Amino acid sequence: MMNDRYLLSNDGIVFTTREFAIANSVSVSAASRRLATLRENGSILVLTRGIWANTGHPYFSPLSCIPKLLGVEQGYLSFLSALHLHGLLSQIPATIQIATTGRSRTLKTPVGMYEFFQIKPTLMLQDIYWSESRVPYRIASAEKCLFDTFYIATRKGRRFLKIPEIEVDSKVLSIRRFDSLINRLRLPIGIKVAVNKRASALFDRAE
């Protein structure tokens, strides 16, 4: 029998079939069979094809799944999900919202609904950092997730035209840092004007 101590380690919280196979020095097909057995007895869940979650691990959270779900794509937690984590939005979003260089899509899993929004790679170079959680994931700063939210509202489909009320806390969200971010990003003038218009209305209400 394979050594399932892997599931007790931090590497065995969210992992791929190939990673499990390497950890146990077995073939991918043998690893798939063992993982299927573990799934049947309720030890793990399958998030999507080839990606597994050990939800019984004390360090597991739906956010810890983000890096594996992104795979080779660049991406990070943003939009209303990140605004909520920053304490700027009291309402908990129904989905876990992620900026990605991949295609926009929605992924339903046993641990939550993930919503991916395509962002240009050039917009992923500023104000993004790793979380301090046990299983880290990338997250936007308060200013960057606010920008991302307003930016997506300018795109096709115009998602986030209406959003819950944001509770501006100057210790967390700074108009000075927001303006600095906008100036550092390469944006078409029309998008910059549209984003600044919504941001100005938000900050004006908070004064």
Task: Enter the tokens of residue 43.
Answer: 């030890």
Q: Above 80 in pLDDT, residue 4?
A: no
List, for residues 12-46, the tens digit of each pLDDT value: 999 999 999 999 999 999 999 999 999 999 989 99
Q: Above 90 in pLDDT, residue 1?
A: no
Per cent of the chain over pLDDT 90 is 81
Q: Above 60 in pLDDT, residue 153?
A: yes
Nearest to 143, CA basis, from 199, 90, 191, 94: 199
Give the model's pLDDT for residue 207.
63
The Cα–Cα gap between 103 and 101 comes to 7
Alpha carbon 166 to chain centroid distance?
19
Give the model's pLDDT for residue 155.
85
The Cα–Cα gap between 58 and 25 comes to 26
pLDDT band at 2 (very low <50, low <70, confident <90, very high): low
* Helix (H), strand (E) at residue 177: helix 175-184
pLDDT band at 87 (very low <50, low <70, confident <90, very high): very high
Read off φ and ψ for residue 108, nearest 5 degrees.
-90, 125
Give the model's pLDDT for residue 66.
98
Q: Above 70 in pLDDT, residue 148?
A: yes
Give the model's pLDDT for residue 156.
75
The Cα–Cα gap between 170 and 153 comes to 24
E strands, the chain, where?
14-16, 45-48, 51-53, 75-77, 96-100, 105-109, 112-118, 128-130, 138-140
With beta carbons less than 8 A apart as the criterion, state whether 173 and 142 touch. Answer: yes
The Cα–Cα gap between 143 and 127 comes to 8
Average pLDDT for 125-154: 95
Average pLDDT for 142-171: 90
Give the model's pLDDT for residue 169.
87
List, for residues 96-121, the tens digit of each pLDDT value: 999 999 999 999 999 999 999 999 99
| Average per-residue pLDDT for the chain | 93
CA atoms within 13 A on the CB side of 179: 5
pLDDT band at 206 (very low <50, low <70, confident <90, very high): low
